[in-house]
Structure 1
Amino acid sequence: MACKFYLYKGMGRKAENGHPWIYTTEIEGYEGTYENGDIVEVYNFKGNFIGKGYINDVSKITIRIMTKDINEEIDKDFFRKRLHNAWNYRKKIIDTSSCRFLFGEADFVPGLIIDKYEDYYVIQSLALGIDKYKSIIVELLTEDFGAKGVYERSDVKVRELEGMEQTKGFLTEPFDTTFEIIENGVKYYVDIENGQKTGFFLDQKENRHAIHKICKDADVLDCFTHTGSFALNAGVAGAKSVLGIDISQLAIDDASKNAALNKLSDTVRFECHNAFDVLHEWAKEGRQYDVVILDPPAFTKSRSTIKSAVRGYKEINLRGIKMVKPGGFLVTCSCSHFMAPELFKDTIADAAKDARRMLRQVEFRTQASDHPILWNSDESYYLKFYIFQVV
């Protein structure tokens, strides 16, 4: 018999509307016994069933709801159905050679990320309840989806909030963890063992393609280039010259290898710089580009640091706007969930005002459609992406 949890009066309304999280502060009491990681049932104050999911009382997110069907068992068939639903969705909407195969809450499996790189899969478990089902997930990826290998990249700090250790390693027989993928006609070396996130930023796939139309015959500056993905798309699109900069020499080395892989080394170059410092110097020198791309890391990962993040986003956009030739283009984005769309928009507007330039919006986009935004779970919406003409 599953342990039953009851919520305070007035609590759980978001969960009743489909949000999968139940916080510690919402729980009034429970009946029965449980161990962390167990599947428990959740009821509102009237005793009406809301859903069932796994519990971890170490976490502020105490229960993550897996199903709203009281009769649905959380077993291998459950995960088979969820994985096939996720795959069938992606087959319809995106190139699936390399993609986010499953996106946690937005695919109704809270706490689990699965990325697919050709025939190899990387999983990330962000919650204790998912750890209990890891072997089942690996079996399904192998049996149903033909995975040649599965690697775990659960080396993320959020696990510590769950009372869990960070971990990474092979979940199948070992294999070479560096291999080649193709996206938008661009080739990349991907290192799923040591690369950022699970090896590559898949969420910008469609946005990288969107810059092709503005980069032909252009001089392009790509800031925070990482392994060169936007810079290489500019090169493939026919840019006259591309300079990618990043503070990490390791990233610059990897980006240069990717340029060579695409036979773009003559057009696409990379240099190691701190973007904040060097843009200030170059703007004073009067250096300008047809296209400036700003794809910084998240400047905030919590509500408490939003003010400093706003200062960071304003500063980098101010400097970026100054580097754009009149009539040229600014590509700018934020990958922080806590940088709300309106706040990001206002911050860019303030930067343009201080730069004494006007922005004409060409396009607004979000994360690629293999990272779907579930309207009942606003945490699934995090990436904001603009293309502006600077006049």
Structure 2
Amino acid sequence: MSLAVVTLKKGEGRFLKSGGLWVYDNEIASIMGSFVNGDIVLVRDFDGYPMGRGFINTNSKITVRMLTRDERTEISPKFLKQRVRDAWEYRKKVVDTGSCRVIFGEADFLPGLVVDKFSDVLVVQSLALGIDRLKETILDALKEVLAEDGIRIRGVYERSDAKVRRQEGMELTKGFIGEEFPTLVQIEENGVKYEVDIRDGQKTGFFLDQKYNRLAIQKLCKGAKVLDCFTHTGSFALNAGIAGAQSVLGVDASETAVLQARRNASLNGLDGTVKFLCEDVFELLPELEEKGEKFDVVVLDPPAFTKSRSSVKNAIKGYREINLRAMRLVKDGGFLATCSCSHFMTYELFTQTIGQAAKNVHKRLRQVEYRTQAPDHPILWSADESYYLKFYIFQVCNDR
């Protein structure tokens, strides 16, 4: 059966031509041939030059997501298995693979698909119609590739419950793919044990992208009094505790997250050192300041304050507020670890916002290091959306 052909308008496809994987609806001149949404199509430039193959969905502004730049390449099980093998071989070289993100969508040339490995369990999130039709073939290939390294996967759980699926004309869904299994999974990272709730935890159950940023704060926390804001299930707080902090307070507005954090503290024998509080961080920071509290290390790991360009201005206010409050709580010469996980809060904007906060509270920042997401969440330079996590560590000094 011949494939439908998507032809670009003259002068369009700049993103695609610079290495990106997306074709937007307003870039398309014509679609010739029959297809149903989710099918593989050929993409050609206005003059017929072949651009490759991808899957189509006319419900989405991103109408085509590319799978290969070679028009002659069949999107077969063999092709998909090679994509999976490439992703796994890369992880083996760059991260601890005990628990890691095995497939990161566009950055692994499998657009719209995320697969996280938590010990011997896989959690999959499918965000595009075309990849949704291929996901079980990809998961079977992944289990085969892992088995070649002696890793037996005991279960797969789907967390395709992100609202972005609706933009693709898809229903939200979650549940087991294959046999059922216990959905509380124990993992270990940086010497810290966690119980991960893959069924009801945020996103796929645990934020693997901060793995080495959590490790980076350990050296600052020995003997320190630490405040971990937006602690979620306690990951930064527990890294501080395991590193020998004198005391750690983790804060989160979610009761469920705090209960999980307390269980994680018990799992690591840190109940006496690491405490958790269910409070709104924006309300708590001014209260701590009023009481005259000071900390050796303050960590800010908030959720994304913006998920679109239209709300960036409000996000800037939020980031500025929590950073200036946190700076006031850091002892002179203490440390602030602060981050943004929003793609739309760019490096330049985030840096500028922190600088403005420091100026407002008359603090001098000495940069210790700047980091991004762990390398199992690779940044593909031609896919801007793959670069989202910005993470700074500063020494905070009073104006002298």
Q: TM-score range by the shorter chain?
A: over 0.9
Match of 1:55 in 2: 56
Using the alignment, how far apart are the partners of 1:339 and 1:138 within structure 2? 33
Match of 1:377 in 2: 383
- CA shift for structure 1 position 141: 2.9
Secondary structure at 1:132's aligned position in 2?
helix
Normalising by structure 2, what TM-score? Answer: 0.97
Using the alignment, how far apart are the partners of 1:374 and 1:178 within structure 2? 32
Q: Map 1:79-98 to 2 at 5 A.
A: 79-98=80-99
Whether the aligned pair in 2 keeps the contact of 1:8 and 1:44 (CA below 8 Å) is yes
Secondary structure at 1:300's aligned position in 2?
coil
Match of 2:274 in 1: 268
Secondary structure at 1:367's aligned position in 2?
coil
- CA shift for structure 1 position 219: 0.2
Deviations 1:125-184 (A, max 9, x none): 000001111221232233332321111100000000001010001111001110210000
- CA shift for structure 1 position 251: 0.8
Match of 1:153 in 2: 159
Whether the aligned pair in 2 keeps the contact of 1:141 and 1:147 (CA below 8 Å) is no
Structure 2 residue 357 is the aligned partner of structure 1 residue 341: no
Structure 2 residue 176 is the aligned partner of structure 1 residue 170: yes
Using the alignment, how far apart are the partners of 1:185 and 1:37 within structure 2? 43
Deviations 1:33-88 (A, max 9, x none): 11100000111112111121000000000000000011211121111001100000
Match of 1:120 in 2: 121
Aligned residue type for 1:4: V
Query: What's the RMSD between the two structures over aligned residues?
Result: 0.8
Secondary structure at 2:334's aligned position in 1?
strand
* Structure 1 unmatched runs, 5+: none
Using the alignment, how far apart are the partners of 1:235 and 1:56 within structure 2? 48
- CA shift for structure 1 position 356: 1.0
Whether the aligned pair in 2 keeps the contact of 1:114 and 1:122 (CA below 8 Å) is yes
Match of 2:237 in 1: 231
Aligned residue type for 1:285: K
Report how many aligned residue pairs link the two structures. Answer: 391
Whether the aligned pair in 1 keeps the contact of 2:306 and 2:345 (CA below 8 Å) is yes
Q: Map 1:283-302 to 2 at 5 A.
A: 283-302=289-308
Q: 1:321 aligns with which of 321, 324, 327?
A: 327
Deviations 1:313-350 (A, max 9, x none): 00010111110000000000000000010000000001
Deviations 1:222-266 (A, max 9, x none): 000000000000001111100001011111111000000000011
Secondary structure at 1:133's aligned position in 2?
helix
Aligned residue type for 1:67: T
Structure 2 residue 23 is the aligned partner of structure 1 residue 17: no
- CA shift for structure 1 position 119: 1.1
Q: Which moved more, 1:5-14 or 1:151-160?
A: 5-14
Q: Percent of counterpart pairs with the same letter?
A: 60
Aligned residue type for 2:144: E
Whether the aligned pair in 1 keeps the contact of 2:296 and 2:330 (CA below 8 Å) is yes
Secondary structure at 2:363's aligned position in 1?
coil
Whether the aligned pair in 2 keeps the contact of 1:206 and 1:368 (CA below 8 Å) is yes
Whether the aligned pair in 1 keeps the contact of 2:85 and 2:142 (CA below 8 Å) is no
Using the alignment, how far apart are the partners of 1:264 and 1:319 within structure 2? 27
Secondary structure at 2:323's aligned position in 1?
helix
Deviations 1:72-118 (A, max 9, x none): 11121111001100000000011000000010000000000000011
Structure 2 residue 280 is the aligned partner of structure 1 residue 312: no
Secondary structure at 2:41's aligned position in 1?
strand
